Structure 1
């Protein structure tokens, strides 16, 4: 299976390599993924609703002009930009769609964490749009800048603090960024949505 992915924000060569290496380490056997940068016209962070909207428009345009020969298109973002817009037009699947959907199927109540308020609001909206809002206990905000995505120590510290704010009704917490590895040792289980989404895509191809 070949997957094509595009970043939701414009990133430099070093960050693009880091993200690609993360995918390469997570890919199940028989699956390849090629990650492309969205380009300099796109936002460089998702800090506001307007930036999230501009990112979605850019991802939709990029996926519509994706190179031929790929089996699946997977936006490199837990907000699933372009998934709703391209449904029925292209073979697009979303990281949140897959990872949260799996928790719903398993009967689990999920919490989520997000880097900032704008992303938290969009995560909640996406969950509701998928019809799964009642399965989400809420979204805790980490209060981090975009450069913390590549700073795992800062992310982990904020994540551990946020995990302590969820109540006992929560079974798992979805880490609300596709590009951050999950290394928390908190007793509450944390889902790496990218890793889970890739495994589910691969399993679906093995039907």
Structure 2
């Protein structure tokens, strides 16, 4: 079963390869991911509201204009679920949203969750995303690390910042933290508030949906 994962920013070949290897590792048995880049001219980071809108437009364009009949589903490789609602109406394949699946699962369990993000723009957009899904009443807020886009691939630095935030979140009464970047490996030491890899959790939820026959158009591919 093939899934298209579309990056939210224009990345270089080394970063595209890193993301592909991550999906190769996380993919459920029998699933194959094809990670696709945004075209030249698309934003290379999500630092402003304008970047967010351009990213969403570019991702939707890629999804609509390079459809593959053998593809079972499309998934934006971003916790902001750019274009998920629009694509759900416009493409024949299933559309998998990382936050719709991961945060939706936590909300179904009644878990109060927060998010750790790279910058404030992403934090605000994440909150807007959970509001669109009707689960903001369980959202405990965002913890912003103020890191650069280059730091996404710096697993050591990213997880050091995450570990520092965990103690603060625990004192705030947060039950679970979502690592607010779909492309980062979560390696922070256990203890305190659990930190969830949203991509890994989303794929587990989607896999269960396929196994239970709830995503029929995916299961047939």
- The aligned counterpart of 1:174 is 178
**Aligned residue number for residue 87 of structure 2:** 86
| Deviation at residue 18 of structure 1 after TM alignment | 0.3
CA distance in 2, matches of 1:151, 1:168: 27
Give the unaligned 5+ runs of structure 2. 213-221
1:142 to 135, 141, 145: 145
Q: For the residues of structure 2 that align with 1:142 and 1:199, how far apart are their CA atoms?
A: 27
State the TM-score, normalizing by the size of structure 2. 0.91
Q: Distance in 1 between matches of 2:96 and 2:117?
A: 20
**How high is the TM-score relative to the length of structure 1?**
0.96
Structure with the higher helix share, 1 or 2: 2
Is residue 204 from structure 1 mapped to residue 209 from structure 2 by the alignment? yes
Q: Distance in 2 between matches of 1:81 and 1:68?
A: 22
Selected match of 1:95 from 98, 120, 142: 98
- The answer to whether the aligner puts 1:132 opposite 2:130 as a matched pair is no
Within 2, Cα distance between the matches of 1:79 and 1:168? 24
Which residue pairs with 1:162 in the alignment?
165
Could you list the runs of 5+ residues in structure 1 that have no partner in the other structure? none
Over the residues paired in the alignment, what is the CA RMSD in angstroms?
1.1
Residues 18-62 of structure 1 show CA distances to partners (whole Å, capped at 9, x for unaligned) of 000000011111111111111212100001111011000001111
Distance 2:137 2:121 in 1: 20
Aligned residues of 1:59 and 1:82 also touching (Cα < 8 A): yes
Q: Structure 1 CA distance, aligned partners of 2:172 and 2:29?
A: 36
The CA distance in 2 between the partners of 1:171 and 1:200, in whole Å, is 20
